[in-house]
A and B are shown apart, each in its own frame.
Chain A
Amino acid sequence: AQSVAQPEDQVNVAEGNPLTVKCTYSVSGNPYLFWYVQYPNRGLQFLLKYITGDNLVKGSYGFEAEFNKSQTSFHLKKPSALVSDSALYFCAVRDTSNSGYSTLTFGKGTMLLVSP
């Protein structure tokens, strides 16, 4: 069975500093990995995804994520945090190992708080 772990319930960072939100995954085959962001009272918005190719993926709002197969990780990063980045972030994975339908499994979410 596939799973996602987001080890931090909350990440605190000062505006202007780099941020990292951690994600590790477990799948049988190769993963498709996704990051979503949820702002207060809003639905989830897609940020970026890793399917294949370059391990460093760039997405919306200046975010990027690095796929590391040996560490089964897909950490979300941003060089300089903004107060407006404060939100709930979800990592999600899909397994590619079988030919049938593969559900999208989400982590429990990490709250990012950026202080002025």
Chain B
Amino acid sequence: EAQVTQNPRYLITVTGKKLTVTCSQNMNHEYMSWYRQDPGLGLRQIYYSMNVEVTDKGDVPEGYKVSRKEKRNFPLILESPSPNQTSLYFCASQEGGGPGPTRRAYEQYFGPGTRLTVT
């Protein structure tokens, strides 16, 4: 089954304790992205990757890191989490990572979400 998986699904942690949220896709998609969802703000992009070893900042990258060492995995790293990073996080993947109108036409596939609480 084609899917995007995230782990953990739920996480409660304390300020300053480094954490990693994993994301994996089995569709051989070039493009992957991380979003956070907050009430009244919709989804905002944190980081994206157009291919292995190619990552770039989205709209709200502060306090986050990512890496793309393999095509299927795109972990989100919070080096020193703070309470304002309490949110619902979604990983997504998409066929076709590069620029150009054809690649922009593809839809994204989302993981089930990770609810993070930082106290």
Give bound CA distance, A101 to B108, whole Å.
Answer: 15
Cβ contact within 8 Å between A108 and B42: yes
Residue from B40, B48, B59, B113 within 8 A of A42 (CB atoms): B113
Return the chain B residue nearest A94 by Cβ.
Answer: B104
CB–CB B110/A45 < 8 A = yes
Contact of A43 (CB < 8 Å), options: B99, B100, B104, B113 = B113
Give the residues in chain A near B98, CB-CB below 8 Å: 101
Chain B residues positioned under 8 Å from A34 (CB to CB): 107
Q: How large is the interface on B (under 10, 10 to 19, 20 to 34, 35 or more residues)?
A: 20 to 34
Q: How far is the CA of A54 from the CA of B104 in the complex (A)?
A: 18
Which of A42, A101, A106 is within 8 Å of B50, CB to CB? A101
Check B45 against A108 for contact (C-beta < 8 Å).
Answer: no
Confirm or deny: B12 has a beta carbon within 8 angstroms of a beta carbon on chain A.
Answer: no
Which residues of B pack against A, CB within 8 Å?
4, 33, 35, 40-45, 48, 50, 56, 58-59, 90, 92, 98-101, 104-105, 107-113
Which residues of chain A have a CB within 8 Å of any CB of chain B?
Answer: 32, 34, 36, 41-46, 49, 51, 90, 94, 96, 99-104, 106-109
